[in-house]
């Protein structure tokens, strides 16, 4: 008899270790399923049925003894409950089980939430409570699709149907060209079941079931694949490739930061590094931000590696994602391209992971487990003896710091575009000066003239609305003054209720001034204009513009216009097909777009993100301007960039306009160090939320007290626990939100003490609490 260590699929911190269940020698599987690591099983816990996942199997002792498994559970089966049924083949292996345990420990997350990352989308059984109060097993909602296909039988060649058997003749004519799907025959000729049955009885045809892959790469054509030829590398690209090869050869999980300007050919470096990895018999994974995962991106990898590429992202249907997951599990896929969740696909023998645009905030999971993709990938590559590549034109400050300090990290620069073209010139437009001169339009005179010039010549324009929806701040339209917190060096958030300005880091608050405290101007604007309003104003502007007129299309890309499946690609195709056109959008257009005839990029307002009450606001503004600037002048036509701002002298904007990262870091790093923010500390954001405001506040205060006591007893004065305070979004979807920020020295294990507190803590019946380790923002 064996003992299975089982993670029970009940998402609670209380179930912080696997439970032990006995498995009889003859097994308990149906359809020949045997218990293995990674299988889903049916077990009983606390009087209820539950699905669990086997993460370990050990031989049981004949009698009770002292021996224990990896998690401290006794290896005696004498008093253990039995695994009642094996429900699936293995979803993951021992490495997947180890990674789930790592995620639970590092990110203070329920084990069940961590192991679920490794299961196929929509294809996992679960136990649900029925209306009668009983628990019952619910089968997966998604599975493989088997289509019926018709092929030629042994009597096909000599068979002659009767002259009046028109449908038989039609079917045979199709089969003479090749195999056909029954559904396609029915669509063409109507009901064909009786016809096929008659032909099958005479051995003229055979009917068989074949797996159909939904979505991307659904049906291979059968033609031989010819990979696209790799172009010659520039000296910079060759140097980057050699750095990656050296990291792979070391076999110790080294990390290479490929610091390349937009258009420098980072993707080609990835492709050739992957090619060499595959040649050694290993596999590779490429992660890109969700908004950059366009068919254009996927096509480059399929063009080089053909049907060996699997694709995973959230815009695919659940069935399509299941098919791609199963494609990876089968071992047929050797390269996985996808968003952050693709990191947990069952790709075996991974030798290289590439994270493109590594600075993107979307690589941070915003629900349990709140993992950071970069750090999990680095852990995986250390275990596998592979290499991790982080690529970006604007690497995160954390990545730059690690490359400078960590001996396992290195940095290689690609300072020039692969085609030798210069980076576009960036011009900063001072909107405060525009306003003082009498202009009230959101489009400056220089941007208006540039639009007219480029569109009249048949060129394309990209306009970015730097918007992040909810946060409002006050700004003086005469002098550009924005009220800031005297203690935190962040902007104050405007609260309509009570007309006040509040700091959501330390709680400082003050009444909103009726006039500008700096210059006395009454023109204090509560900032924030949506893309629909900008589109309407732009349409009116273009319609009255000489040499342009109403025929120029405006393609708007935002959360509203890209909701439908395929909408993202359809809008880009519309933009590509037009002669002269304007692509207006939010951050989703700032990267991943490669159009030869875009000659002008305009940033409508660079300040919206700059004045968010977030310590990364300056870094994100700098990154966004550099990223969107890279959309212009990518081919033979020269490009230019106009950045409209009320903060023309802000260092993030000046540095981005001159492509001077050193200037930005010289200003930013001392502030991070003094105020104790990453990369100089590690942080954890303890989140508390619920429907009742008073209960949430009380629970947050109680947690703060418990955290202070825990840190004082276990760590001493080296860590700090900031007071409990409302989040920036203090109320979201009728839920009140508070948080407590914990800061620790950069090398400390911030997760351990927090995990011990949360797993011993009695949950509040009406208030939820969770830990976000290494948060990307504190909003």
pLDDT category of residue 413 using cuts at 50, 70 and 90: very high
- Residue 484: strand, helix, or coil: strand
CB 118 within 8 A of CB 329: no
The pLDDT assigned to 139 comes to: 77
- The DSSP output letter for 231 is P
> Tens digit of pLDDT for each residue in 313-362?
887 888 889 899 999 999 999 999 999 999 999 999 999 999 999 999 99
Contact (CB, 8 A) for 358 and 395: yes
Do domains 235-414 and 425-469+530-671 share one topology? The answer is: yes
User: What is the rounded average pLDDT of the residues 253-263?
Assistant: 96
101 burial (CB, 10 Å; 0-12 / 13-18 / 19+) is buried
Query: Which of the listed CATH numbers 3.40.50.1010, 3.30.70.600, 3.40.1590.10, 3.40.630.10 matches domain 681-773?
Result: 3.30.70.600
CA 82 – CA 221 distance, rounded (Å): 48
Q: State the Cα–Cα distance between residues 43 and 12, nearest whole angstrom.
A: 17
The whole-number average pLDDT for the span 711-738 is 88
The end-to-end CA distance of the chain, in Å, is 52
Across the range 83-91, mean pLDDT stands at: 90
Q: What is the pLDDT of residue 294?
A: 66
How many C-alpha atoms does 645 have within 13 Å on its Cβ side?
27
* Whether 370 contacts 237, CB under 8 Å: no
- Residues 701-729, mean pLDDT to the nearest whole number: 92
- Phi/psi-derived region of residue 593, left when phi > 0, alpha when psi is between -120 and 50, beta in every other case: beta
Q: How far is CA 111 from the centre of its chain?
A: 21
**pLDDT (average), residues 634-640:** 88
Please, which pLDDT band fits residue 18 given cuts at 50, 70 and 90? very high
Pairing label, strands 48-59, 85-86:
unpaired
Which of 71-75, 203-207, 404-408, 486-490 has the weakest average pLDDT? 71-75
Task: Indicate the CATH number for domain 2-138.
Answer: 3.40.1440.60
CA dist 759 and 764 (Å) reads: 13
What's the number of CA atoms in the CB half-sphere (13 Å) around residue 75? 15
d(CA 200, CA 676): 76
- Hey, which residues does 740 pair with through a beta bridge? 686
pLDDT given for residue 471 in this prediction: 40
From the list 126, 125, 117, 87, the residue with the least C-alpha distance to 99 is 117
Using alpha carbons only, give the angle 675, 753, 105 rounded to the nearest 5 degrees: 105
When pLDDT is averaged across residues 216-243 and rounded to a whole number, the result is 76
Q: Distance between CA atoms of 504 and 692, rounded to whole angstroms?
A: 20
Q: What are the tens digits of pLDDT across the range 202-221?
A: 999 999 887 777 765 444 43
My answer on whether omega of the bond before 679 falls inside 30° of 0, hence cis, is yes
With a cut of 80, say whether residue 558 has pLDDT above it.
Answer: no
With 0-12 CB in 10 A as exposed, 13-18 as middle and 19+ as buried, what is 689? Answer: buried
**Nearest residue to 124 via CA among 108, 109, 112, 111:** 112
d(CA 366, CA 107): 12
pLDDT digits (tens, 9 = 90+) for 519-553: 999 988 876 555 666 888 899 999 988 888 788 99
Which three-class secondary structure state does DSSP give residue 712? helix
Separation between Cα atoms, residue 537 and residue 532, nearest integer Å: 9
Find the helix packing angle between 266-279 and 295-305, rounded to 10°.
40
Burial class (CB in 10 A: 0-12, 13-18, 19+), 537: middle
Strands (E), 60-102: 85-86
> What are the phi and psi torsion angles at 586 (to 5°)?
-90, -160
Q: What is the mean pLDDT of residues 19-31?
A: 76
Could you tell me which of 121, 513, 185, 556 has the C-alpha nearest to residue 342?
121
Q: What is the Cα–Cα distance from 705 to 712, expressed in whole angstroms?
A: 11
Q: Select from 688, 668, 779, 683 the least CA-distant residue to 735.
A: 688
pLDDT tens-digit map of 498-507: 778 877 656 7
Q: Report DSSP state, residue 292.
A: G
119, HSE (Cβ side, Cα atoms, 13 Å)? 26
597 Cβ neighbours under 8 A, 6+ residues apart? 458, 459, 460, 635, 637
pLDDT reported for residue 552: 92
Q: Mean pLDDT, the chain, as a whole number?
A: 87
User: What gap in Å lies between CA 492 and CA 507, rounded to an integer?
Assistant: 10
Q: Distance between CA atoms of 700 and 767, rounded to whole angstroms?
A: 9
> For the whole model, what pTM was predicted?
0.83
CATH architecture assignment, domain 425-469+530-671: 3-Layer(aba) Sandwich (3.40)
List the chain domain ranges: 2-138, 145-212, 235-414, 425-469+530-671, 473-527, 681-773
Query: pLDDT tens digit string along 415-436?
Result: 999 888 899 999 999 999 998 8
Q: Which phi and psi angles does 587 have, rounded to 5°?
A: -60, -20
User: May I ask the CATH architecture of the domain 235-414?
Assistant: 3-Layer(aba) Sandwich (3.40)
pLDDT grade, residue 69 (50/70/90)? low
Average pLDDT over residues 174-197: 85
- What is the length of the chain? 779
Cβ atoms of 148 and 197 closer than 8 Å: no
Q: CA 716 from chain center: how many Å? A: 37
Q: How many helices (H) and strands (E) does the chain have?
A: 21, 33
The dihedral of CA 41, 44, 50, 55: what is its sign? Answer: negative
Q: Are 285 and 335 in contact (CB under 8 A)?
A: yes
Do residues 387 and 256 touch, judged by C-beta distance below 8 A?
yes
- Those residues whose C-beta lies under 8 Å from the C-beta of residue 196, and which sit 6 or more positions away, are 150, 171, 182, 185, 205, 207
Question: CB-based contacts of 575: which residues, under 8 Å, 6+ apart?
Answer: 460, 553, 555, 581, 583, 595
Q: What are phi and psi of 366, to 5 degrees?
A: -100, 10
Q: What pLDDT score does 226 carry?
A: 73
pLDDT at residue 219, as a whole number: 42
- What's the pLDDT at 119? 94
Q: Is the pLDDT of residue 363 over 90?
A: yes
């Amino acid at each position: 008899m064996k003992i299975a260590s089982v993670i029970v699929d009940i998402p609670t911190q209380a179930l912080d270790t696997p439970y032990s269940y006995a498995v009889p020698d003859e097994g308990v599987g149906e359809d020949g399923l045997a218990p293995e690591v990674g299988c889903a099983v049916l077990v009983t816990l606390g009087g209820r049925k539950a699905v669990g996942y086997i993460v370990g199997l050990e031989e049981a002792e004949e009698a009770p003894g002292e021996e224990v498994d990896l998690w401290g559970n006794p290896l005696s089966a004498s008093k253990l409950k039995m695994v009642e049924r094996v429900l699936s083949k293995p979803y993951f292996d021992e490495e997947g089980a180890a990674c789930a345990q790592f995620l639970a420990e590092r990110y203070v997350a329920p084990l069940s939430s961590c192991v679920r990352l490794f299961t196929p989308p929509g294809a996992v059984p679960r136990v649900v409570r029925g209306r009668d109060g009983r628990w019952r097993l619910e089968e997966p909602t998604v599975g493989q699709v088997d289509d019926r296909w018709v092929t030629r039988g042994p009597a096909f060649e000599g068979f002659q149907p009767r002259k009046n058997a028109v449908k038989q003749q039609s079917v045979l004519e199709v089969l003479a060209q090749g195999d056909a799907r029954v559904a396609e025959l029915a669509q063409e000729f109507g009901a064909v079941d009786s016809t096929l049955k008659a032909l099958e009885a005479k051995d003229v045809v055979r009917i068989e079931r074949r797996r159909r892959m939904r979505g991307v790469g659904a049906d291979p054509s059968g033609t031989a694949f010819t990979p696209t030829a790799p172009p010659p590398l520039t000296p910079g690209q060759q140097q980057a490739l050699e750095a990656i090869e050296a990291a792979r050869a070391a076999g110790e999980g080294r990390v290479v930061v490929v610091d390349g300007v937009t258009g420098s050919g980072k993707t080609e470096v990835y492709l050739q590094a992957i090619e060499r990895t595959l040649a050694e018999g290993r596999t590779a994974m490429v992660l890109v931000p969700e908004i950059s995962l366009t068919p254009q991106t996927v096509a480059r990898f399929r063009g080089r590696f053909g049907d060996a590429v699997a694709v995973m992202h959230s815009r695919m249907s659940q069935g399509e994602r299941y098919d791609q997951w199963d494609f990876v599990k089968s071992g047929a896929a050797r390269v996985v391209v996808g968003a952050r969740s693709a990191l947990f696909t069952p790709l075996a023998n991974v030798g290289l992971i590439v994270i493109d645009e590594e600075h993107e905030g979307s690589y941070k999971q915003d629900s349990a487990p709140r993992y950071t993709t970069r750090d999990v990938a680095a852990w995986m590559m250390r275990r596998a003896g592979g290499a991790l590549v982080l690529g970006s034109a604007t690497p995160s400050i954390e990545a730059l710091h690690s490359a400078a300090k960590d001996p396992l990290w290195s940095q290689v620069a690609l300072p020039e575009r692969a085609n030798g073209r210069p980076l576009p010139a960036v011009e900063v437009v001072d909107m405060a000066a525009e306003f003082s001169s009498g202009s009230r339009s959101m489009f400056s005179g220089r941007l208006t003239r540039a639009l007219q010039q480029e569109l009249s010549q048949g060129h394309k324009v990209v306009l970015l609305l730097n918007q992040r929806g909810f946060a409002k701040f006050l700004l003086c339209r005469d002098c550009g003054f924005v009220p800031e917190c005297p203690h935190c060096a962040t902007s104050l958030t405007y609260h309509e209720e009570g007309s006040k300005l509040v700091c959501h880091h330390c709680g400082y608050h003050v009444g909103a001034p009726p006039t500008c405290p700096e210059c006395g101007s009454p023109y204090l604007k509560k900032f924030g204009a949506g893309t629909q309003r900008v589109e309407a104003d732009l349409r009116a502007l273009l319609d009255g513009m000489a040499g342009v007129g109403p025929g120029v299309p405006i393609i708007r890309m935002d959360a509203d216009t890209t909701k439908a499946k395929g909408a993202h690609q359809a809008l880009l195709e519309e933009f590509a097909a037009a002669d002269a056109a304007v692509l207006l959008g939010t951050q989703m257009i700032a990267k991943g777009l490669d159009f030869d005839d875009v000659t002008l990029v305009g940033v409508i307002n660079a300040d919206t993100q700059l004045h968010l009450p977030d310590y990364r606001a300056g870094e994100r503004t700098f990154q966004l301007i550099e990223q969107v600037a890279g959309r212009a002048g990518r081919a033979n036509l020269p490009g230019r960039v106009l950045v409209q701002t009320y903060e023309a002298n802000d260092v993030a904007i000046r540095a981005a306009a001159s492509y001077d990262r050193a200037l930005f870091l010289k200003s930013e790093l001392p502030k991070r160090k003094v105020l104790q923010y990453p990369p100089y500390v590690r942080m954890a954001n303890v989140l508390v939320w619920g429907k009742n405001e008073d209960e949430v506040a009380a629970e947050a205060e109680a947690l703060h007290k418990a955290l202070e006591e825990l840190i004082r007893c276990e760590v001493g004065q080296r860590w700090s626990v900031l007071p409990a305070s409302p989040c920036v979004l203090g109320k979201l979807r009728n839920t009140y939100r508070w948080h407590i920020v914990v800061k620790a020295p950069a090398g400390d294990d911030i997760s351990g003490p927090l995990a011990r507190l949360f797993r011993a803590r009695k949950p509040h019946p009406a208030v939820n609490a969770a830990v976000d380790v290494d948060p990307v923002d504190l909003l």
